[in-house]
Amino acid sequence: MDRLLFLRNSWRESASFASESSDEGVFPGPGGYLMQLVYYPDPILLKTARPLERIDGGLREKTAEMFELMYCESGVGLAAPQVGWGVRLFIFNCLGEEDRSGERVFINPRILGRGEDYLVEEEGCLSIPEVKGKVSRPDEILAEFQDLSGEMRREELCDIESRVFQHEFDHLNGVLFLRHLNTTEKLVAKKMLRELEKEYSERGETAGSGPPGRSGDS
């Protein structure tokens, strides 16, 4: 989710999630990272990502860079389009930076089935600073994806893993969590979105050209 600010209840703590300008999806950014976040209303965030055809050692390096950027932003998930890379790939670690055993990479993912029970939780997005709202999603899903070895896997996900997967999967289809908000929350978000659009326009922004002028956001 982008600053995918995703608020988790009970066992959860407050957390945030991270223009197809280049196949490499890397741009000079702050903090020593080649990659940097792409912000609303960058056009790449509304595009459908293409399948990733080549899985090699270079991909492992790119996903490692994505994890470091995600941790830098206190995130739990990050999709490739959020760093200006228009391919069907995302990462997450629902355990947080302190436990890297939870790192997952999902390549060319699909959702094969959704459970009947829905939960409403608050989400936000690293690519849409300061905007958040409640989103209803299935608590369980059946997912299919390739891992970093290229192996096809099928897995049932529930609770926070299901929610983060669905949020990031939406990014691959050009869908922002804003679409899932109710009418009242959309109206509340509208003013902040206009401010982001104004900043983007004033910078003469082109896809993937950099973050808004507000360093230190978390």
Q: Is residue 74 part of a domain?
A: yes
Nearest-angstrom CA–CA distance, 108 and 97: 24
Q: Is residue 216 part of a domain?
A: no
Nearest-angstrom CA–CA distance, 163 and 140: 8
Q: So what's the pLDDT on residue 203?
A: 83
Q: Is residue 217 part of a domain?
A: no
Q: Is residue 210 part of a domain?
A: no
Q: So what's the pLDDT on residue 20?
A: 35
In 3D space, the residue among 17, 13, 12 whose CA is nearest the CA of residue 92 turns out to be 17
Q: Is residue 209 part of a domain?
A: no
| CATH number of the domain bearing residue 69 | 3.90.45.10
Q: In angstroms, what is the C-alpha Rg of the chain?
A: 16
Q: So what's the pLDDT on residue 129?
A: 87
Q: Is residue 139 part of a domain?
A: yes
Q: Is residue 208 part of a domain?
A: no
Task: Locate 181 and state its tokens.
Answer: 């908000």
Q: By residue range, what is the domain housing residue 157?
A: 5-202
Q: So what's the pLDDT on residue 111?
A: 99
pTM for this prediction: 0.80
Q: What is the pLDDT along the chain (218 residues), one digit of tens a residue?
A: 543 343 333 223 333 333 333 444 444 444 455 789 999 999 999 999 999 999 998 999 999 999 999 999 989 999 999 999 999 999 999 998 888 899 999 999 999 999 999 999 999 999 998 899 999 999 999 999 999 999 999 999 999 999 999 999 999 999 999 999 999 999 999 989 999 999 999 987 554 444 433 332 22
* Domains: count for the chain: 1
Q: So what's the pLDDT on residue 19?
A: 36
As annotated, the active-site residues are: 168
Q: Is residue 211 part of a domain?
A: no
